[in-house]
């Protein structure tokens, strides 16, 4: 449950409410989200307890939520959340295409790719300055220098940009340079990092963890939201199963399910799900049909020379061709691309 406090609630009012909750054996947490003060409860309240609490000063409303996640729940917010990034709406009727290289390799590389992407349906440029890799010997990204390149290219081509943050110490500088912050699958339950991006006041793409349940994914979003940032974009990128012919198993049922459970936008990353470019078009189309609000696709002007994940990167021309089919599917389900 969530207790929503009135804007005029004093520290004394809040202290009185928490004393009563402690007396009732309710583990509770005071926080502020979207300029509203809330007290979150681990367990539900009985009817007589609700009546008792409502008699106290400083309470505006009690949200009777049965899910462990509260702010992310469709029961808390009936209308769908639409997130803005430099004029690009994510979660509305228009399906958003986010594309770019896995990693920033140089300004020449990123600028060349972005220039070509401007002639496609791409609305947001993706590229990572920090690259956590399974092998410590693999290319780890250009770090802060990569952020500067990303920002320069954004100014040059006037397109919103997003990148991954991997370390709590880098959140401030990443937020300073990009329009959207991305939390990778390996960091989905890095709770200190989630709390920090919750304070960053920038939209956040939250990827589903390699073995995370849908509930765990939504609870990770809750960490970000309850620390002040309601602008969370969920990203399904495949989960780890017994299957080895693909990098991961894309769980498109999670897209349909999350749209029932949450008001947050949901996008799909077919590149990391597949790990191979030949099936990316097919699963991208399926993602749109399943209700995804956008796609996060890796492209490269020369995949064979890419320093990171070249095998799963489309050519810009292949993305442009795929966009034609994606637009047809979008129109068929009453949306646009």
Q: What is the pLDDT of residues 22-54, one digit of tens each?
A: 999 988 889 988 788 999 998 888 889 999 999
Per-residue pLDDT tens for 206-232? 999 999 999 999 999 999 999 999 999
Q: What is the mean pLDDT of residues 97-104?
A: 94
Give me the sign of the Cα torsion angle 278, 94, 156, 176.
Answer: negative
Instruction: Give how many domains the chain has, as a whole number.
Output: 2
Contacts (Cβ under 8 Å, ≥6 apart) of 116: 301, 316
Say how many C-beta atoms besides its own lie within 10 A of residue 192's C-beta: 10
The answer as to whether 75 is a domain residue is no
Q: Is the model's pLDDT at 137 over the cut of 80?
A: no
CATH of the domain at 12: 3.30.70
The answer as to whether 39 is a domain residue is yes
**Distance between CA atoms of residues 180 and 63, nearest Å:** 30
**Distance between CA atoms of residues 92 and 84, nearest Å:** 10
The answer as to whether 74 is a domain residue is no
Domain identity same for 120 and 187: yes
CATH of the domain at 278: 3.20.20.70
Residue 105, classified by CB atoms within 10 Å of its CB into exposed (0-12), middle (13-18) or buried (19+), is buried
Domain identity same for 58 and 87: no
Domain identity same for 50 and 175: no
Q: What is the mean pLDDT of residues 190-208?
A: 96
Q: Which domain holds residue 24?
A: 2-63
Q: What is the mean pLDDT of residues 119-132?
A: 91
Cα-Cα end-to-end distance for the chain: 38
């Amino acid at each position: 449950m969530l207790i929503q406090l009135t804007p005029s609630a004093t520290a004394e009012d809040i202290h009185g409410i928490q004393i009563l909750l402690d007396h009732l054996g309710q583990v509770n947490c005071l926080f502020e989200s979207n300029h509203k003060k809330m007290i979150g409860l681990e367990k539900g309240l009985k009817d007589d307890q609700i009546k008792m609490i409502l008699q106290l000063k400083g309470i505006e409303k009690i949200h009777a939520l049965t899910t462990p996640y509260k702010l992310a729940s469709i029961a808390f917010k009936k209308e769908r959340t639409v997130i803005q990034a430099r004029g690009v709406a994510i979660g509305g009727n228009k399906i958003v295409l986010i594309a770019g290289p896995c990693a920033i390799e140089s300004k020449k590389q990123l600028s060349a790719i972005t220039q070509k992407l401007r002639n496609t349906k791409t609305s947001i440029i993706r590229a990572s300055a920090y690259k956590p890799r399974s092998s410590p010997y693999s290319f780890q990204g250009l770090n802060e220098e990569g952020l500067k390149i990303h920002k320069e290219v954004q100014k040059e081509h006037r397109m919103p940009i997003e990148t991954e943050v991997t370390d709590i110490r880098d959140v401030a500088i990443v937020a300073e340079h990009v329009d959207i912050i991305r939390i990778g699958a390996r960091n989905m339950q890095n709770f200190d990092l989630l709390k920090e991006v919750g304070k960053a006041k920038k939209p956040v793409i939250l990827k589903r963890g390699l073995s995370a349940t849908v509930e765990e994914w939504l609870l990770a979003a809750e960490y970000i939201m309850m620390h002040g940032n309601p602008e969370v974009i969920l990203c399904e990128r495949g989960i780890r199963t017994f299957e080895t012919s693909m990098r991961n198993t894309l769980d498109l049922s999670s897209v349909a399910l999350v749209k029932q459970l949450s008001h947050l936008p949901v996008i799909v990353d077919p590149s990391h799900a597949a790990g191979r470019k030949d099936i990316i078009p097919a699963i991208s189309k399926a993602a749109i049909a399943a209700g995804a609000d956008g796609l996060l696709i890796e492209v490269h002007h020369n995949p064979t020379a890419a320093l990171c994940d070249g095998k799963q990167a489309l050519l810009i021309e292949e993305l442009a061709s795929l966009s034609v089919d994606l637009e047809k599917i979008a129109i068929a389900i009453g949306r646009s691309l």
